Amino acid sequence: MKTLTGLIPVLITPLNKNLKLDILSLKKILNFISKFEPCAFWANGTGSEDMSLSLDNRILLTKKICEFNKKKTPIISGCSFYSLEDTFRYLKKTKSFDISGYHYLPYNQMISLRNLEFVYRDLAKYSSKPIWLYTSANWYKHISPDFIDNLKRVKNIAGVKYSTSNIVDMQSVQSFADKRFQVISAVVKTLYSCLCLGVKASTTVEAFTYPSLINKIRHSFLKGDYKKSLFFQNRLNTLIKKMPNISAKQNFLKVAEIKYLLSKKKLCKKFVTKPYKCVDTAKERKLLDSFYNTYLEDLF
């Protein structure tokens, strides 16, 4: 798999009022985010509410993403399930899809790193497409750079999405990058710092809220205008801090807020999977409406 360079949006999962997949809105959001020249799509990730989607729904979602994408942009799809049986079933069922690779994030926080290593080695051996390691201390225990170093040489492992605010660990992991193993970042508030470390691609669900601003950070940096790049990074971080965390206080994820903001552009509906809470009261809507009108209209 060739080196990815640029923005990798974490695709949200549009839902109808009955919480079924909203296929029409899926096409809309793909068309919308494609205007910002992503280098890949991160499908079925945590920002996609993947942990709340059934095996059948994830297969259908992946199929439709591939159909609408029409081979324009590489797709790296999640195969993370609590049940490894479902993980391998998903790999088998999507083998013929136009996917560039799979990512796997362990959701069981109790399994040891030794067991997790066995899982990654089994996935790499079984999968017909490259496997991406995926770490996040929000969803699993801390994974040290040494663990990544131990797996980077495994055949059919393409790289790692190392999701951390710890820039020291990020630097250590980025030092493992070479022609066959890529490191991508995930915390958009540290995008400027990660670019300084040599990280070439980054994922974020915030791409659906601040796509043009995120691209300005990267484009300014690549042009050598580091002062402007840092200016845009500071502006982004300020906006993220100002955004009302209404449902996120109960969900951890900000997907409910993001979907509500996208609904104002008629790109999708506000609904999220159970047991997450959507933006559903007049007071909550008013807060996000004010944020949108004040800060976001010119960013979409």
Q: What percent of the chain has pLDDT over 70?
A: 99
Contacts 24+ apart (CB under 8 A), 124-129: 124/154, 124/155, 124/156, 124/157, 125/156, 126/88, 126/91, 127/79, 127/91, 127/102, 127/156, 128/91, 128/95, 129/95, 129/99, 129/100, 129/101, 129/102
Alpha carbon of 79 to those of 110, 202, 279, 281: distances in Å?
Answer: 19, 19, 28, 34
* pLDDT mean across residues, the chain: 95
At residue 249 the predicted structure's pLDDT band, cuts being 50, 70 and 90, is confident
The reported pLDDT for the residue numbered 300 is 66
| Phi then psi dihedrals of residue 25, to 5 deg | -70, -30
- Residue 99 pLDDT greater than 70, yes or no: yes
Q: Which residues pair with 20 in a beta bridge?
A: none
167 CA to centre of own chain: 19
Of 82-86, 138-142, 222-226, where does mean pLDDT reach its minimum? 138-142
Which pLDDT belongs to residue 248?
Answer: 85
Region 76-102: what's the mean pLDDT?
97
Of the candidates 192, 194, 193, the one whose C-alpha atom is nearest the C-alpha of residue 183 is: 194
- Kindly report whether the global pTM for this prediction surpasses the value 0.75: yes
- Tell me if residue 191 falls in helix, strand or coil: helix
Residue 300 tokens read as 């979409």
Q: Is the pLDDT of residue 246 over 90?
A: no
Task: For the chain, list the domains and their CATH numbers.
Answer: 6-223 (3.20.20.70)
Distance of alpha carbon 194 from alpha carbon 187, whole angstroms? 9
